[in-house]
Amino acid sequence: VAQRLDGKRIAGDIQADVAAKVAALKARGIQPKLAVVLVGDNPASASYVRGKRRVAEQVGIESDLIHLPETVEEETLLAEIERLNNDASVDGILVQLPLPSHIREADVIERVDPQKDVDGFHPWNTGRQVAGLDTVWPCTPAGVMEMLRRERIPVAGRHAVVVGRSQIVGKPMAMLLLNEHATVTVCHSRTQGLADITRTADILVVAAGRPRLIGADHVKPGAIVIDVGINRVDGKIVGDVAFDEVEPVAGAITPVPGGVGPLTIAMLMANTVSLCERRRGLRGEAQ
Ligand code: NDP
pLDDT one-digit tens code per residue, 193-226: 999 999 999 999 999 999 999 999 999 999 999 9
Q: Is the pLDDT of residue 285 over 60?
A: no
Rounded Cα–Cα distance for residues 163 and 246 (Å): 16
What sections of 132-236 are H helices per DSSP?
139-150, 170-179, 194-198
Task: Give catalytic status of residue 96 as yes or no.
Answer: yes
The average confidence (pLDDT) of the chain is: 97
Per annotation, catalytic residue among 119, 202, 227, 240: 119
**In sequence order, what are the beta bridge partners of 95?**
37
**Which residues lie below 8 Å from residue 109, measured CB to CB, with a gap of 6+?**
95, 121, 122, 123
pTM, rounded to two decimals: 0.97
Q: CA 99, 167, 128 angle in degrees (round to 5)?
A: 115
Separation of 283 CA from ligand 1 center, angstroms? Answer: 33
Separation of 18 CA from ligand 1 center, angstroms? Answer: 28
Q: If you ran DSSP here, which 8-state letter would residue 116 be given?
A: G
Q: What angle, 0 to 180 degrees and rounded to 10, lies between the N-to-C axes of helices 7-27 and 260-279? A: 20
Three-class SS state of 249: coil
Separation of 77 CA from ligand 1 center, angstroms? Answer: 26
Query: Given its phi and psi angles, is residue 70 left (phi above 0), alpha (psi -120 to 50 degrees) or beta?
Result: alpha
List pLDDT tens digits, range 37-71: 999 999 999 999 999 999 999 999 999 999 999 99
pLDDT of 24:
97
Task: Give catalytic status of residue 52 as yes or no.
Answer: yes
List pLDDT tens digits, range 115-173: 999 999 999 999 999 999 999 999 999 999 999 999 999 999 999 999 999 999 999 99
**In sequence order, what are the beta bridge partners of 35?**
64, 93
**Cβ atoms 248, 216 nearer than 8 A:** yes
51 lines ligand 1 (CB under 6 A): no
pLDDT of 284:
58
List pLDDT tens digits, range 238-260: 999 999 999 999 999 999 999 99
Q: Which amino acid is at 143?
A: G
